[in-house]
Amino acid sequence: MRRGVERDNTKVRQRNTVNIGDRCCLGARPLLGGYDGPRQWCWFRLDSIASLAALAPLETILFDIDGTLCDSDILHYHAYREMLQEIGFNGGVPITEEFFAENISGLHNEDVAAFLFPDDVPRGRQIAEDKEAVFRKLASEQLAPVSGLYKLKKWVEDRGLKRAAVTNAPRANAELIISILGLSDFFEALVVGSECEHAKPHPEPYLKALDLLKASKEHTIIFEDSVSGIKAGVAAGVATIGVMTRNPEHQLREEKPIFLIKNYDDPKLWAALEALEKMDA
């Protein structure tokens, strides 16, 4: 740490500063300000950088798939909305995106079936299966990566980190998405919730991925976009970063990720990764 100054209207205050690349973060209070271009400051918590830096040397990155690698939740939402309206669910009133985010997004299909049709779970399972077929058709036509994904992919590859995809989606969906995004050769393992004894939000899928990769959770980062996924990552004892693709920020924050990012171009993420690398130097 070195001493620095920050001008605040009429007075100059001495503050602790942390250099992150060509930026300077001011950290005497719980918040850090990272300079991100002329007259622009991005604010983030001091403990977010400290939490990530403590992972050095970083060994492993684990990714969820839907909503984390790609903005696919909107496709799942449209598929469910149309199918449920057709069968008269909710009196024929279409479900809202908020309803989907709060009650369906990120859950295993078995849990979705039980939630939507508690008195007829087999019917719910069939609807979920039919929805997946609709989703795969939409995905083949409309799927796009989360902004900055390929920048992060290169960063991971350049450092030779271990990586796996961990999902509650059916294997057919997961493999299709990974293929469409050109990531088939990127991931060393794919863990599917339905092939574990417990799906997310249970930590088992992430713990299984760590076991397959022979990786330490103390040197691993998880990227997740859903409440159930962040719950799983945190319960596994792994530093989990929330990606705010579609799900409400307040809901994600309640699950205590180390911090939240808008996408993989977020300056907050790269500032933290730079700090981590400095710790490993």
Q: CA torsion sign, 13 to 19 to 22 to 23?
A: negative
Element (H, E) at 33: strand 31-35
Report the SS3 class of residue 240. Answer: strand
Task: Please state the φ and ψ torsions of residue 2, each to the nearest 5 degrees.
Answer: -130, 165
- Number of C-beta neighbours around residue 88 at 10 A: 9
For the chain, state the CA radius of gyration.
20
**CB neighbour class for 158 (10 Å; exposed up to 12, middle 13-18, buried from 19):** exposed
Identified catalytic residue from 8, 22, 66, 158:
66
Give strand pairing partners of 134: none
Distances (CA, A) of 177 to 107, 128, 155, 181, 213: 17, 18, 21, 6, 21
Report the SS3 class of residue 15. Answer: strand
Report the SS3 class of residue 129. Answer: helix
- DSSP-assigned letter for residue 131: H
Contact 164, 190 (CB under 8 A): yes
Identified catalytic residue from 36, 64, 71, 130:
64
66 given a catalytic annotation: yes
119 given a catalytic annotation: no
Catalytic (active-site) positions: 64, 66
